[in-house]
Amino acid sequence: MSISWTINSYVFADLDFKSMRGSPGLGFYRLVAEISIALHSRPEGQEVIVTNIEGDLAVIGKDNVDHYVGRMRRQGHDSPLITFPHTYSTNLQLEVEIDDRRIEAIEKIRAGGDLNFKLNLYGLANSATEKRPQNLNSWMNFRVNQGTSIEMLEQMGYRRTLLLEVTLSDGEPIRPEAMKHLQNAQTHLLRGHYRDAVGACRDVLEALSKELGDEKDTLPETINNWFEGSKKMGKDERIRLVRRALKVLTHPARHADEVSSKIEWEPEDAKAILIFSAAMVQMAGSRE
């Protein structure tokens, strides 16, 4: 989206919102906006000097309500923008620091689709032809499609781990088959395919069951027998029982019978089941 900056009704700059990307930090993440600026020619003695450039970033929800993300400040030196007798172009990078909770809130608004950012860009314009500085205040919208939204998470390093810090990339995983399905589950979650995300978690549990031999144990026929028998269970047996229970929970996402087809998987369902499944992978570790 393009806008213009004016002083005394004279357009001295055209601005274009070029991109939004992610950037990693130590214990935090960044969103970086790149603005292209074309500064028009101004005669000597009539230069326009722009300082104090900042912005307020918001995400537009599906209800068209602006949800404030944070204050964006310039990267690097806060050098002024100055017009010259010739036209020239430059780029401006603005960044805002965000944390896990803010990313989760943004992802909730995105709901597996696109993101609509709104940037209130402002600065202070001074000119020899004006007696006092003029405030600049302009709104710019920028739409980020689904694929780019997921790429931004990868750029920040956010997608490489789950809340349990189960590494999804970098190095050879201990349980490669289960980890492959875990990555698929997260991809489906990010794309808003919640039934497929739960189904991929079912595949995670199936892979673990096969590797760890869960099916060799026979479950008790009644709750009472299970309760009595559970008193003698060790840790590994209890973990195995949890895995088998999660297979029961995720079973409908991989079937289309009359009951399963009526079950609706919501974002929070898929996210919780993904975390449960990641925990099972983590607890399985390298045990055979």
Interval 169-203: pLDDT, tens: 455 556 888 889 998 998 898 888 999 999 999 99
Q: What is the C-alpha separation between 15 and 90, in angstroms, rounded?
A: 10
Least confident window among 42-51, 107-116, 147-156, 259-268: 259-268
Say whether both 140 and 189 belong to one domain: no
Q: What is the C-alpha separation between 260 and 249, in angstroms, rounded?
A: 11
**156 within domain boundaries:** no
Q: Is 216 helix (H, G, I), strand (E, B) or coil?
A: helix
Residue type, 174: I
Say whether both 184 and 136 belong to one domain: no
**157 within domain boundaries:** no
Find out whether 156 and 29 touch, Cβ atoms under 8 Å: yes
Say whether both 74 and 203 belong to one domain: no
Count CB neighbours of 278 within 10 A.
Answer: 24
Estimate to the nearest angstrom the gap between the alpha carbon of 214 and the chain centroid: 35
**49 within domain boundaries:** yes
Q: What does the pLDDT look like over 63-121, one tens digit per residue?
A: 899 999 999 999 988 899 999 999 999 999 999 999 988 998 998 899 888 999 999 99
pTM to 2 decimals?
0.68
**166 within domain boundaries:** no
| Mean pLDDT calculated for residue range 257-266 | 83
**155 within domain boundaries:** no
134: containing domain: 2-145
Q: What is the C-alpha separation between 216 and 235, in angstroms, rounded?
A: 17
**252 within domain boundaries:** yes
> In the chain, what's the furthest Cα-to-Cα distance?
92
Say whether both 131 and 11 belong to one domain: yes
**206 within domain boundaries:** yes
- The number of distinct structural domains making up the chain is 2
CATH number, residue 208: 1.20.120
Say whether both 216 and 258 belong to one domain: yes
Say whether both 124 and 76 belong to one domain: yes
Q: What is the C-alpha separation between 218 and 245, in angstroms, rounded?
A: 13
Query: Residues near 237 by Cβ (< 8 Å), separated by ≥ 6?
Result: 217
